[in-house]
Structure formats: structure tokens, C-alpha cells
Amino acid sequence: MSNTQNLFNKVWDLHAVKTLESGQDQLLIGLHLIHEVTSPQAFEMLRDRGLKVLFPERTIATVDHIVPTENQARPFEDNLAEQMMSAIEKNCAEFGVTLLDVSDDRQGIVHVVGPEQGLTQPGMTIVCGDSHTSTHGAFGSIALGIGTSQVAHVLATQTMALGRPKVRQVKVNGELGPGVTAKDVTLYIIRKLGVQGGVGYAYEYAGDVFDRMTMEERMTVCNMSIEGGARCGYINPDQTTVDYLRGRPHAPQGEAFEKAAEWWLSLASGPDAEFDDLVEFNAADIEPTVTWGITPAQSVGVSESLPAVSSYPADEQTLIKEAYRYMELEENQPIKGQKIDVAFIGSCTNSRISDLREAAKVVEGRHVAEHVKALVVPGSQLVRKQAIEEGLDKIFIEAGFEWREAGCSMCLAMNPDKLVGNQLCASSSNRNFKGRQGSPTGRTLLMSPTMVAAAAVSGCVTDVRELSGAATA
């Protein structure tokens, strides 16, 4: 491997089987994660062609999207959800794929479970039929969301055809201010570069801000890469990565782990690594961030007012006007103080134990506003168990939150957790598209878990730094 190669190109070349006539590369896929929504049709494609899963040991299934987080008694009340659950149970049994279902204490959101179990490791190629597979790039892997037909192809061949994207290094240096989280960093990057800014690129996140982040914070950042248009995002493995993976069930053990760790660290982009583009941001410019529109790029710092339509290029103003109409907001109004109806802490972006710990600090000793429905949905059964052991469930319940079972929940509302009418939800999830949270007129404000917690107890968008007593300067 050349000293001028960045991690992305190193890992790509290590997994390239051959270059196809189309100009795409055929890549070997190291880990295939599947769930109940995008896999039924893929398994049917295999049956129709008389194919088997080539390497079932490289495929892991869990259930998350349609799983109820309140009443999990079978059969599920939603008939379609029950059909999907039955299908993945049948398919995994027939094709020899390990399934983490609701009776397994390892079950949870696919992008929480993979890292938690040590399945996700540096230097791997990882795919899943889900947009936010980029989460796993936090470990220094190439992690891609794929479609249903590609799921079938990977099941049958353990490879897929891909065009190599360019690589952009996104650097953030400096000190983050009080109350500013990984979620704020990634929302800020998307705001600055736009939802199409990353098209054709993989993002390498670099700089001392990411160096100081925990693995769970890095996962939040990489999770949102797709929302900025990037094909994937990653962070170079370092000692933080190694320490996180040590002792995980599927990570190497003993001497094998030490050898693996040495190789993982060797993959990192070196000081002479070359990139197709570079953008840099100053951490001091980032404050707690809230989306106000219908794309993740439509956001402001909590102290800001909403932008004037005229501040956008002429070809973007139609979308901005549409966003204001849909969200029932007005240009130049402050986002702080905007009344909310629902508060949701969860999703593959922000449902890990550190997210719940920080949110609990905000709500402890306070109570959810009378008009707000608030719920906390852990990202996995193991996260839920750990939170209970730490007494976090009691803090949330005493504060008036609903404490739920593990699942995707209100992030995409393919389950009973949905907005009603034009309710406005403060959400720690990743998408604020029209109707995303289950109601065709429902409205979403994306923010960090601590900002959601602050909004829940205040009844409106609130600067978490004021609740926690931190200076806003």
C-alpha cells in the first residue's frame, strides 16, 4: 500500500476482485447486515433462481424497523409487520443465517448491533439494505447502503459491482463549545456543504475534533454522511477504536486481537495521503443546531433566526418557500421558543448508552411539559439493559418520558410509533423529510439528544446550555 493512499482507497484495493467491462470494480464484501424490510424480496430472488447464501457466516440479521417498541407480543397487531417478522424468521432458518430476533438479548437496530457485537471492524467492506450503513465507517471501514436487488446479489455472491467514488477530507479542528455534540457537528457540516454536496464522494472525517470523539460520537457523525449526499463516511482507526473493540464477542481474542489491532492501525491515512478535495471548518463556529425545514441541510444554530428566503440563490428559493409552508414557520423568526408536541430520543443516529446518559442529565429533576409526548427508545436490548442497570430508565420515567423496548421506532414510523396530524417533533433521528415520522403532515426538527431532552422539559426548542448552566459564549 502506497504512503499516498488514503484509507478508503487502501481498503477498496484490498477488496477489489477485478475491474468489470462497465468500468466498475467487483468488490468482495466482508460483512452483510440484513433486516426484515429489505430482505424478503432478496431471499425470494434466491429461491426463484435456486441459489443459496454463499457465505452465511458473513451475514447477520436483526429486526428493527417494524418492531413495536411498546407491545411486542406475537402476533404483532400490525399484520404487515407480523408478515415481515415471519418472513425473516423463515428465510434465516432456511438459508442458515444467524437472526437476532426479539427473543435474543442481542437484538436491536442494525447499526447499533454491528458495532456492539464487534462485527464491525476496521478495514472491512460492509453493506446493508439501509441508507445509514455509513455508521460503520466510524471504525475505518467502507460501509455502504444498498438496494434490495443488491442485497440478493451479495447474498448469492458475497460481492457487488461499484464505481469508485472520489474521496473528500472533511477537517474540523479546534475546541467544541459547551453543549455542542457530535450531532451538532454533523448537522453543521451538512448545512455548509448541502444535501448534494457529497455526491460522488466518500468523506474522510479528520481533525482533532474527531480524534477526541468517542466511538459512539464518531458513529453519529458517520451515520449522517448519506444525508449530505456522500456515498459513505469514515474515520481513521486509532487507539480509541482498538479499545472499543477489545473483548467484543465477534472481535479477535488474545494474540489474534493484538495482530489485528496492529493491522487496523496501519490502514489509517498517513500525512502524505492524497485526496480529491479538502474542506475545513472551525469547531468554535458550531453551536447546538436545529433543523427547521424538510432537508437535513436546512438548519440553524439555536441562537439564530430562520433565514430569509432572499438569502438563498434564486434556483433554491422555491424549495425554501415550500419548506416554510410545510413546517408552518416563517423566515426571520427565532427557532428558540418554537413550541413542540412530541420529543423522540432514539434511532441509529443517537440511541446508544452515551446518548441516553447525556439526555438523562438534562431531564433529571425536571418534568416533561404537560402538552408534550416524550419517549426514549434504546438502540438495542443491551443498551436498554445497561441503562436500566445505571438507573437511567427511572430518571426518564420519573421525568414523564415513556421508556420503550429497542427498535427504530419514530425515526421512520414503519411501526406503531407515529406522529399524528401536523404534530411537531423534536427528534434525535436523521431525516426530516415530509411525512418521515408517520403522518403525511407531521413535522420534524432534528437535533441532538440533549437538545431533545431540553425541548421536552421546556415544551419548546430550548438552548440546552441554558438548562445545564453552561455559558453560551
| Mean pLDDT along residues 72-92 | 95
How much is the pLDDT for 468? Answer: 65
Give the phi and the psi of residue 363 in degrees, each rounded to 5.
-90, -15
Q: In what order do the strands lie in the sheet with 277-282?
A: 232-235, 201-206, 166-173, 277-282
Give the phi and the psi of residue 4 in degrees, each rounded to 5.
-90, -5
Cell of 169: 477530507
What percentage of the chain reaches a pLDDT higher than 70?
Answer: 99
128 is an annotated ligand-binding site residue: no
pLDDT classification of 302: cutoffs 50, 70, 90:
very high
Task: Give the side-chain half-sphere CA count within 13 A for 263.
Answer: 15
Task: Give the side-chain half-sphere CA count within 13 A for 190.
Answer: 32
CB 371 within 8 A of CB 456: no
pLDDT classification of 472: cutoffs 50, 70, 90:
very low
pLDDT tens-digit series, residues 128-147: 999 999 999 999 999 999 99
The answer on pLDDT for 1 being more than 80 is no
The one-character DSSP state at 137 is: G
| Mean pLDDT along residues 221-246 | 98
How much is the pLDDT for 2? Answer: 76
Helix (H) or strand (E) run with residue 249 in it: none
| Mean pLDDT along residues 120-125 | 98
Contacts of range 419-424, beta carbons closer than 8 Å, 24 or more positions apart: 419/341, 419/342, 419/443, 422/328, 423/341, 423/342, 424/338, 424/339, 424/340, 424/341, 424/342
Contacts with 247 (C-beta within 8 Å, 6 or more apart), sequence order: 253
Give the phi and the psi of residue 80 in degrees, each rounded to 5.
-65, -40
Which CATH code is given to the segment(s) 290-466? 3.30.499.10
The answer on pLDDT for 61 being more than 80 is yes
Cell of 48: 426463484
CA distance 326 to 336: 19
pLDDT classification of 3: cutoffs 50, 70, 90:
confident
pLDDT classification of 470: cutoffs 50, 70, 90:
very low
232 is an annotated ligand-binding site residue: no
Bridge-based pairing state of the strands 299-301 and 342-345: unpaired
Answer whether CATH 3.40.1060.10 is correct for domain 166-285: yes
411 is an annotated ligand-binding site residue: yes
- Please give the single-letter amino acid code of residue 323: A
Whether the domain at 7-162 and the domain at 290-466 fall into the same CATH topology: yes
Cell of 246: 477489545
CA distance 417 to 412: 9
How much is the pLDDT for 473? Answer: 33
Distance of CA 331 to the CA centre of its chain: 29
- Domain ranges in the chain? 7-162, 166-285, 290-466
3-state secondary structure at position 35:
coil
| Mean pLDDT along residues 422-436 | 97
| Mean pLDDT along residues 222-239 | 98
CB 368 within 8 A of CB 456: yes
Mean pLDDT of the chain: 97
- Please give the single-letter amino acid code of residue 339: K
pLDDT tens-digit series, residues 257-279: 999 999 999 999 999 999 999 99
| Mean pLDDT along residues 324-329 | 98
- Please give the single-letter amino acid code of residue 265: L
Q: Which of 181-185, 222-226, 343-347, 409-413 has the lowest mean pLDDT?
A: 409-413
For the domain made up of 7-162, the CATH class stated in words is alpha beta
- Please give the single-letter amino acid code of residue 104: D
3-state secondary structure at position 428:
coil
CA distance 152 to 54: 11
The answer on pLDDT for 469 being more than 80 is no
How much is the pLDDT for 256? Answer: 98
> Which candidate, 467, 351, 451, 407, places its Cα nearest to that of 78?
407
